Amino acid sequence: MLSHIFKSFVVALAVGATTASAQNSANSLVSRRLTEYLMPVATETHEFARVPNTNFVLLTQMSDSELIKIELDATTEEPIAFQSFPMGNNSSSQLHGVWPSTVYPGKMWLSLQAENKLLLVDPGQNLTTEPTIIKTIDIPAPGNGPHCVFEIGNRVWAGLKVASKQTGQFYVFSADISNSTDQKLYQCLNSPVFIKEEPTTGLIYVTQDTDSSIMRINVTTGETTQLPIPPSVGNNAVGMISAYGPMSGVWFTLAGNATGGTGTFGHIGSTGEMEFFQLKHPMLGSNAGLLHIADASSVAGGPALWLLSTSLLSTNSPDALIRVTFDAGVTAVSGEEYISMLTQNAMVHRVLPLDKTVLVSELHTFTLAQLTYNNTIAGQWLPAESVSNATYTQAG
Ligand SMILES: *[C@@H]1O[C@H](CO)[C@@H](O)[C@H](O)[C@H]1NC(C)=O
Ligand SMILES: *[C@@H]1O[C@H](CO)[C@@H](O)[C@H](O)[C@H]1NC(C)=O
Ligand SMILES: *[C@@H]1O[C@H](CO)[C@@H](O)[C@H](O)[C@H]1NC(C)=O
Ligand SMILES: *[C@@H]1O[C@H](CO)[C@@H](O)[C@H](O)[C@H]1NC(C)=O
Ligand SMILES: *[C@@H]1O[C@H](CO)[C@@H](O)[C@H](O)[C@H]1NC(C)=O
Ligand SMILES: *[C@@H]1O[C@H](CO)[C@@H](O)[C@H](O)[C@H]1NC(C)=O
Ligand SMILES: *[C@@H]1O[C@H](CO)[C@@H](O)[C@H](O)[C@H]1NC(C)=O
Ligand SMILES: *[C@@H]1O[C@H](CO)[C@@H](O)[C@H](O)[C@H]1NC(C)=O
């Protein structure tokens, strides 16, 4: 029995060696390195954003309502130090969203989900400086539980993810930043997460996860429309970005359910039609639970996206960072590259490209992972370092 196992092992080794040497002559190994940085222990490490034009990243830990200010090395972008600040009345205030303000350069929006508040803070000049609150916006009833917060034009937006105490309904909140009496609540489905503007039409799109639909808002009329995700392609709309140029429109991801994801993401352009794309690779792609998304386009590399597959909803979905490229007309996926995260079942949460590295937050393991490579522009692999489908061999 033992000798049989030993023989199979030798055969496997021999086959492996042949494959490796055959590949060596054809393909050089590419540079992709992940490093994990430990954050303070917490059960929910949530959103993060870079403070524009600084070497600071702000990361929210919701389970203890702590804001982690992380300093990056100015040259390598490696996280080098952090300082933790409690936000809200106490550790149950549920610090959740974080987003940079453009109207107030250098200032950051935060949400306190359990206190029904949005805060505009000055993160401070250096690592140890305590953030100072510049403005507080109270979410009006019947709204409840601000989750992700965004600034679009002169308005601040938040998806209210908790059912209203008064009506049992869910709402999207929007307020004029300089006129606090101009506030609006749009009733929506369960429950709003990302809120983005379609650049050509100025229409606002909102992902709603549990009810698996996208809401469109015409801010001129206040009219809202639901675009349900066809169950045949997947479910659970979460991540969304606005994109420009050849990718123009909003792009969104489907995170799947307890049985896994479908590797599906979608696009809505100026026509308002939903168009879906599906990852093909059988090992990490077709069951991917795509929670978040970022633009990976570059001048040399053309249109591209970072997609983040998570084990948050199902352990059948991998924790992986996936880079997809498109044909020139952005009508079909032309390449898929898979970077498996170091810690599986970490429930990876958000992806943020910096100037030359990419950061991924791991919700359940209080970790920030950093992808480094030898290229100078995020996602722009040198031609000799790009990975195509050809380098994948099918599992036997
Ligand atoms: C990255 O670039 C450096 C400097 O050019 C080189 O020495 C190193 O071998 C490269 N690493 C990888 C993994 O390609
Ligand atoms: C936090 O404050 C709220 C009310 O202000 C209170 O209900 C809650 O018990 C407090 N939680 C902790 C952990 O102190
Ligand atoms: C937080 O504290 C303020 C003042 O100390 C109080 O008015 C407010 O009700 C508290 N919020 C919550 C959610 O307990
Ligand atoms: C932090 O910032 C303050 C005020 O800008 C400054 O006085 C102080 O020297 C800074 N500390 C460090 C360690 O840079
Ligand atoms: C502020 O908003 C309110 C409510 O929409 C509106 O009536 C008022 O005219 C606005 N004020 C200014 C200065 O725009
Ligand atoms: C918003 O609604 C108004 C009134 O129906 C319409 O004129 C306008 O074109 C709509 N905006 C968009 C971007 O569709
Ligand atoms: C989970 O998603 C799959 C794929 O969309 C679907 O076939 C299945 O019915 C869903 N399961 C539940 C319990 O909703
Ligand atoms: C990758 O594989 C997909 C599906 O098999 C195929 O359509 C696509 O052309 C391939 N892309 C490259 C760059 O080989």
Task: Report the pocket of ligand 2 as residue ranges, CB < 6 Å.
Answer: 89-92
The list of the chain residues with pLDDT below 70 reads: 1-29, 375-396
Q: What angle do CA 75, 79, 85 make, to 5 degrees?
A: 130
pLDDT at residue 377 in the model:
60
The protein residue whose alpha carbon is closest to atom 9 in ligand 4 is 126
d(CA 121, CA 112) in angstroms, rounded, equals: 12
User: Is residue 357 a contact partner of residue 53, using CB atoms and an 8 Å limit?
Assistant: no
From 90, 115, 119, give the residue whose CB has the most ligand 3 atoms within 8 Å, as the site to mutate. Answer: 115
Which ligand is located closest to the Cα atom of residue 90? 2
Structural domain boundaries in the chain: 236-353
pLDDT digits (tens, 9 = 90+) for 300-339: 778 999 999 999 999 999 999 999 999 889 999 988 989 9
Ligand 7, closest atom to CA 232?
Answer: 5
Secondary structure tally for the chain: helices H, strands E:
1, 28
Residue 279 Cα to ligand 6 midpoint, Å, equals 34
83 C-alpha to ligand 4 centroid (Å)? 14
Nearest-ligand number for the alpha carbon of 221: 6
Answer yes or no: CATH 2.130.10.10 is held by domain 236-353: yes
Q: Could you tell me if 343 and 319 are in contact, meaning their C-beta atoms sit under 8 angstroms apart?
A: yes
For residue 373, what pLDDT is reported? 81
Pocket test for ligand 1, best of 28, 31, 375, 387 (most atoms within 8 A of CB): 31
Neighbouring CB atoms inside 10 A of 223's CB total 10
The pLDDT, as a whole number, for residue 29 is 66
CB of 179 sitting under 6 A from ligand 5 = yes
pTM above 0.75, yes or no: yes
